[in-house]
């Protein structure tokens, strides 16, 4: 990775250091231009920068308006020496071998299976709801068959599953829905589950065994030295220049580039022509406490609407770090702030389709990532999306350069023919 210095020349980014760029940057020496300008140094932008530089030898300028790389997955060591995630806990899990193989070039892994407890009825019980959850809440001793029958007896028939409320009430009944989902969803989205698309709660399974893992994916691990280090390794290529603290608006007319890849918000790119795409945001309160451990698992959910935050994360569980203190993050959902979660409602999907049509009519710009496509994606999905997009770019680049080669050789042939003709004429 090469970071541009304030006079626009390339300077090496120290390994392990976060590259912070001053706000004002001149581009005097970048006039020679780049093959690609990539907006956003999160997974989408960084994977594409790496692939284009490594595989196609393209010169890439990667910019981000934040003061760091890694997008929402950014992590760093705090004053207590604990590795924390600035934008809330990011747990890596996937079923894609292709994605694991790709990322494993840039990181080793620490096996970690995510566990979440929910604070319900004054106790901590597993979520997703499983056999243990039911036993603890109802003081029962159950076999998996009993648990299944118990949930069936609680479930309410729902004629057509449309909303997030329908999904849960249809699977586990109203009582468990109210204990675990209603308050949490209302806090998280500022909307009642009955107003939200079914996709929001469909992501959380219900189990009748004692499996208490949050995810069922075949690969569940954390980057051994954190996400930021993984991104630094990914971007450590002489063809990649990174500029931080740099908004697209500041450089769009100042830098020369052939092609643009944009992983920022699609509505912002088009100056909010049809209005703003709604997002739900979060405020994070990071805290380090003078005790070795705080809670039994990495994340504890607080579904009650009497508590303002939705969950508390304790990072030591993700990293295995040993320290007399421990670092936590409290998450407070918010209407305003950084765009985190696209709000899945039909009218928003409709609005996005309008922007998508504009994007389709703008062939020299490619929109990627969760903000570029207004969809909630997990990290592995964004990596998969970026790798698939790279394949398409590679094919186009190859056919374009094949055409250019053919045109050049045709020009040579034509030149030879003309020269021969001229010679012939002189004979």
Ligand X SMILES: Cc1cc2nc3c(=O)[nH]c(=O)nc-3n(C[C@H](O)[C@H](O)[C@H](O)COP(=O)(O)OP(=O)(O)OC[C@H]3O[C@@H](n4cnc5c(N)ncnc54)[C@H](O)[C@@H]3O)c2cc1C
Nearer to ligand X, 126 or 223 (CB): 223
Q: Which of residues 245-274 bind ligand X (CB under 6 A)?
A: 247-248, 263-264
Smallest Cα–Cα separation from 43: which of 95, 88, 106, 97?
106
The CA-atom distances, in angstroms, between 65 and each of 228, 244, 248, 251 are: 16, 6, 8, 11
CB of 25 to ligand X, least distance (A): 13
Which position among 39, 82, 116, 168 is part of the footprint of ligand X (CB under 6 A)? 39
Which position among 38, 42, 197, 303 is part of the footprint of ligand X (CB under 6 A)? 42
CB of 24 to ligand X, least distance (A): 15
Nearer to ligand X, 161 or 297 (CB): 297
Does residue 379 touch ligand X according to CB under 6 A? yes
DSSP string, 142-205: --HHHHHHHHHHH----SS--BHHHHHHHHHHHHHIIIIIIHHHHHHHSS-GGGSBTHHHHTS-
Q: Which of residues 302-341 bind ligand X (CB under 6 A)?
A: 340
The DSSP element (H or E) to which 409 belongs, if any, is helix 379-426
Q: Which of residues 74-93 bind ligand X (CB under 6 A)?
A: 87-91
CB of 93 to ligand X, least distance (A): 7
Axis crossing angle, helix 144-154 with helix 164-176, rounded to the nearest 10: 110
Separation of alpha carbons 160 and 174, rounded Å: 16
- Beta-strand relationship, 123-127 and 116-120: antiparallel
CB of 347 to ligand X, least distance (A): 22
Longest dimension (CA), the chain: 107
Smallest Cα–Cα separation from 132: which of 46, 184, 209, 206?
209
Does residue 71 touch ligand X according to CB under 6 A? yes
CB of 378 to ligand X, least distance (A): 3
Nearer to ligand X, 292 or 338 (CB): 338
The DSSP element (H or E) to which 127 belongs, if any, is strand 123-127
Does residue 21 touch ligand X according to CB under 6 A? no
Does residue 66 touch ligand X according to CB under 6 A? yes
Q: Which stretch binds ligand X (CB under 6 A): 2-10, 225-233, 379-387, 416-424?
A: 379-387
Write phi, then psi, for 107 (nearest 5 degrees).
Answer: -155, 155
Does residue 103 touch ligand X according to CB under 6 A? no
Between CA 243 and CA 333, with CA 21 as vertex, the angle to 5 degrees is 85
Which position among 34, 36, 43, 181 is part of the footprint of ligand X (CB under 6 A)? 43
Which position among 4, 19, 21, 63 is part of the footprint of ligand X (CB under 6 A)? 63
Separation of alpha carbons 379 and 383, rounded Å: 6
Axis crossing angle, helix 43-56 with helix 379-426, rounded to the nearest 10: 30
Q: Which stretch binds ligand X (CB under 6 A): 100-108, 150-158, 322-330, 374-382?
A: 374-382
Which position among 226, 227, 378, 390 is part of the footprint of ligand X (CB under 6 A)? 378
Nearer to ligand X, 208 or 373 (CB): 373
Nearer to ligand X, 220 or 239 (CB): 220
Which position among 4, 19, 30, 40 is part of the footprint of ligand X (CB under 6 A)? 40
Smallest Cα–Cα separation from 131: which of 118, 117, 142, 115?
142
Q: Which stretch binds ligand X (CB under 6 A): 158-166, 182-190, 365-373, 408-416?
A: 365-373
Axis crossing angle, helix 144-154 with helix 131-138, rounded to the nearest 10: 70
Nearer to ligand X, 249 or 427 (CB): 249
The DSSP element (H or E) to which 413 belongs, if any, is helix 379-426
Which position among 278, 333, 369, 384 is part of the footprint of ligand X (CB under 6 A)? 369
Separation of alpha carbons 156 and 169, rounded Å: 6
Which x/- pattern over 202-241 shows residues binding ligand X (rule: CB under 6 A)?
----------------------------------------
Contact between 92 and 222 under an 8 Å Cβ cutoff? The reply is yes
Contact set with ligand X (CB under 6 A): 39-45, 63-66, 71-73, 87-91, 247-248, 263-264, 282, 340, 369-371, 377-380, 382
């Amino acid at each position: 990775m090469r970071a541009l210095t304030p006079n626009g020349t390339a300077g090496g980014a120290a390994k392990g250091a976060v590259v912070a760029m001053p706000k004002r940057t001149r581009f005097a020496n970048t006039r020679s231009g780049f093959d690609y300008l990539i907006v956003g140094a999160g997974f989408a932008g960084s994977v594409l920068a790496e692939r284009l530089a490594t595989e196609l030898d393209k010169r890439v300028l990667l910019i981000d308006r934040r003061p760091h790389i890694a997008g929402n997955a950014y992590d760093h060591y705090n004053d207590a020496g604990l590795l924390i995630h600035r934008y809330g806990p990011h747990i890596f899990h996937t079923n894609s071998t292709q994605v694991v193989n790709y990322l494993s070039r840039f990181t080793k892994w620490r096996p970690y299976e995510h566990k979440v407890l929910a604070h319900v009825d004054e106790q901590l019980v597993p979520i997703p709801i499983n056999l243990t959850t039911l036993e603890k809440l109802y003081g029962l001793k159950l076999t998996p068959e009993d648990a299944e029958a118990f949930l069936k007896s609680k479930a309410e028939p729902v004629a057509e599953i449309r909303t997030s409320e329908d999904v849960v009430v249809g699977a586990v009944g109203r009582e468990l829905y109210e204990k675990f989902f209603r308050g949490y969803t209302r806090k998280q989205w500022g909307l009642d589950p009955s107003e939200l698309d079914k996709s929001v709660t469909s992501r959380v399974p219900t189990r009748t065994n004692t499996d208490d893992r949050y995810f069922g994916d075949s690969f569940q691990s954390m980057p051994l030295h954190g996400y930021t280090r993984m991104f630094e390794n990914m971007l450590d290529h002489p063809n990649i220049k990174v500029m931080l603290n740099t908004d697209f608006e500041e450089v769009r007319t100042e830098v020369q580039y052939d092609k643009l890849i944009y992983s920022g918000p699609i509505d912002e790119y088009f100056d909010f022509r049809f209005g703003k795409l709604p997002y739900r945001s979060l405020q994070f309160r990071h805290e380090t406490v003078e005790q070795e451990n705080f809670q039994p698992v990495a994340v504890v959910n607080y579904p009650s609407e009497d508590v303002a935050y939705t969950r508390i994360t304790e990072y030591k569980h993700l990293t295995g770090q040993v320290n007399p203190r421990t670092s936590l993050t409290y998450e407070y959902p918010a209407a305003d702030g950084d765009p985190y979660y696209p709000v899945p409602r039909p009218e928003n999907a409709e609005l996005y389709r309008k922007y998508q049509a504009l994007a389709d009519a703008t062939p020299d710009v490619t929109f990627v990532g969760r903000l570029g496509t207004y969809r909630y994606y997990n990290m592995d999905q964004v990596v998969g999306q970026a790798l698939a997009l790279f394949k398409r770019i590679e094919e186009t680049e190859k056919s374009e350069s094949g055409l250019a080669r053919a045109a050049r050789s045709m020009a040579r042939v034509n030149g030879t023919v003309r020269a021969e003709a001229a010679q012939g004429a002189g004979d």
